[in-house]
A and B are shown apart, each in its own frame.
Chain A
Amino acid sequence: MRRYAVPATLVAVPLLLAVLGPLLASHDTTKDVAFLLGGGHWFGTDFVGRDVWNEVLLGGRSLVLTAVTATACSYALAVPLGLVAGMTGSRALDEAIMRPLDLLLAVPSMLMLLLLASIAPGVPWVLIGVVTLINLPDVVRISRAAALSLSSRPAVEAMRLQGESRIRIGVHYAARAMRRTLAADLGTRFTGAIYLVASASFLGVGVSPQTSDWAAMVDRNRVGLFIQPWAVVLPALLVVALSIGVNLAFDRWLRDHDPRSTFLEAR
């Protein structure tokens, strides 16, 4: 397990803070001067004079939860779609999946966010839906591209001759053959989702302005970056740690569970 020490620490610190933070945080709402460095606060105050450390304790749970759920949702939807589009022998089916998604891509995402912000403010599910929707076509395209070269492999043909279902071929073969690509994309997409959640909450979708949120903290406190760096740096560091940790853990895991070996395939 020592090999996982670095990624595990990187993930654990923000994750624990996110999960346990709200239990430790004080719910005292008095405010101090905005962007105070020190002044009886460990990490100073934020843009409205709240204690930064307290905000950090409060601001992880919903963020991590929504980002994780949204990423998971987009993958749960997109990878099967991409696999089907990439591996089907039917061009019509491929187009039927891809062209409508292209439509989704062509609508400026800001407009989509804005609209949803005004239609259903304050509902976390809407936020998760939006983030999923924005990621969906991208992930579909990437997994389709990865699956495309697999579709014509004899291994797939053999499985089809065995009467295997598409799903099984997808899960047992294609998804495994693509896992490294998917993991790389998932890792960065998760980070992207964190900020998408933040910018969405900035527009008023999902997280209400009263809720503390790391990514939103980074955004809202940025004006004070040079007088009170902690208000930006601390939450940003947590997000960075989480994102690097998740990705390194993926890398490590893939390396440890690598069923491939060139030697034997190249015989």
Chain B
Amino acid sequence: MTVVSVRNLTVTAADRAIVSGASFDLAEGGITALVGESGSGKTTTALSLLGEKPPGAEVSGSIEVAGETVDPAHPPAAGTIGYIPQHPSAALNPVRRIGPVLREIARLHVRAGSRRERRELVRQRVLEALRQAQVPEELLHRYPHQLSGGQQQRVVLAHQLIGRPRVLVADEPTTGQDAVIRGQLVEEFRSVAARGIAVLLLTHDLDLVRALADHVLVMNRGEVVETGPCEEVLGAPRHPCTRRLIDAQPDPAATGRAAPEPGDPVVSVRGLVAGHRRVDTVHDVTVEVHRGETLAVVGRSGSGKSTLARCLAGLHPHRSGEIRLGDTPLPPLLRKRTPEQTARIQYVFQDARASFNEFAPVLDQVARTAERLRGAGRTEARRRAAGELARLGVTEASASRRPAELSGGELQRAALVRAALARPEVLICDEITSGLDTTTQADLLDVLEELQDDTGCALVVITHDLAVVAGRSDRVVIVDGGRIVERGRTAEVLAEPGHPVTKDLVTAAVRFTAGTRARPD
């Protein structure tokens, strides 16, 4: 049965159609995937189901959710549509612990019974949701900032799984998840759908689409250019856009770059220990990054990858050990580092949206790097920034808007440019491809390679996407529980994983793609 029916949806803002004439239905128990290039209007379409629109935008067309007409003046009843935002960190209240909020949500769905019974039911419901969303129970006492990016995302998922919405809209729900968890989440989404919930999945991950979706909608520049059953659309794409997306998918079987011989170490980390409050989350890590190489950092969600990266960037003071940049030891604190040192190691944040100042145009912010760290003049810096952004497909017009008016993928690219403008010797990229469609992702990786060739910059790529790892990195380190458990040349490690964790990750990824991807011949 159709739960959501959208007809001729058009959203215009600033004389430009963000979405134009989209029509589709969501059926009870069906999983529909909405795919398309970054900035094609996916999030905007999804949010219009909730009766939300960009400020100043005009919405036309009709939306019906569970028989009720929805428009910005009449949003659907709270709880009808579950929504998992693309950037989950902002959805978590910074001053509330995880557990109480989950219980609060659960209480909405537990009626009947005595107080004791209710309490027990609430507890069960919370535990159930935690299990489904793969959130360990010990995180209940934590504040959101005490979670890793992937954990935050799963907590938000748990919020939605507690309730019983008619429709679940999930905007990139697996971007921050490792292969193992992703596999488990696929099962959960299936069971959600099996409960009769209509699922709208917004994603770039075509493997995920193949694994889950019954139906696929492809968007391009605000228009739905192709729709149909999953196998049909992805198996025999008709629209060039769709074809491009499929073609650009990285090859998981790639065997790493033809790596140059390792240069001198730019950064060497020795015996690094770091942690939060009393617990250590990074233990005795020793690793070197060589000039011009690409080092992939892979590990389960919550294994300490971001913490390690932040230590390098000077954002998280380590407890002991040493980080050397060239021959000089680096002070642990950013404010003790010279601008020169700051410029030489740059970090691209996992959550791009949160890393922008919401009050200033993105372009201005991006350009500041060139001004501050490379001594460029104001106009020169802007020119450079605009150029780099354009290379990645973000127009100057978009970039001149405030962060809130850019799509997730656009911001991710802007964040990369912001760091790259410092012309760093080491560029740490924390999940920078996660929010990007395959085409843009490929472009971005090409641009990075160019940068590497031009400047001899070393890349540290933190990612869950083993395909990216396989195709683009020279060496890989596998992190687990804050320790490096395996390291080596990418091709070798992926081909013959030594550590159980690596094995798990690789098998999960392979199983995932093998089961879904019809290998192009």
**Chain A contacts to B: CB under 8 angstroms:** 89-90, 149, 152-155, 157-164, 172-173, 176-177, 259-261, 263-267
Contacts and interface: CB of A to CB of B under 8 A. Distances in A.
B334 A161 contact: yes
Given A263-B47, A266-B90, A266-B91, A163 B358 contact: no
Q: How large is the interface on B (under 10, 10 to 19, 20 to 34, 35 or more residues)?
A: 35 or more
A163 B335 contact: no
B54 A154 contact: no
Interface in B350-381: 351, 353-360, 368-369, 372-373
A39 to B, nearest CB: 58
Nearest to B401: A264
Given A160-B315, A161-B334, A267-B408, 17 more contacts: A153-B354, A155-B354, A155-B356, A155-B357, A158-B355, A158-B356, A159-B368, A161-B313, A162-B368, A162-B369, A162-B418, A163-B369, A164-B372, A172-B357, A173-B357, A173-B360, A266-B85
Interface stretch (B238-246, B341-349, B447-455): B341-349
A265 B90 contact: yes
B359 A176 contact: yes
A163 B355 contact: no
B329 interface: no
Contacts of A259: 358-359, 402, 404
B419 interface: yes
Q: Which 3 pairs of residues, A with B, have the shortest CB-CB distance?
A: A264-B404, A163-B372, A154-B355
A125 B359 CA distance: 37
Interface in B136-167: 145
Given A161-B313, A173-B359, A259-B359, A154 B349 contact: yes
B209 interface: no
Contacts of A173: 357, 359-360
Contacts of A149: 94-95
B43 interface: yes
Contacts of B368: 159, 162, 164
A89 B335 contact: yes
A267 B86 contact: yes
Contacts of B349: 154, 157-158
B53 interface: yes
Given A161-B315, A162-B418, A172-B359, A267 B47 contact: yes
A159 B422 contact: no
Interface string B263-287: 0000000000000000000000000
Contacts of A263: 47, 52-55, 404
B484 to A, nearest CB: 24
A89 B333 contact: yes
A225 B43 CA distance: 64
Contacts of A265: 90, 353, 358, 404
A260 B359 CA distance: 7
B405 A163 contact: no
A266 B349 CA distance: 18
Contacts of A157: 315, 349, 355
Interface string B169-184: 0010000000000000
Interface string B86-108: 11001100110000000000000
Contact of B418 (A152, A153, A158, A261): A158
A267 B87 CA distance: 6
B418 A177 contact: no
Contacts of A163: 339, 342-343, 369, 372-373, 422
A260 B372 CA distance: 27
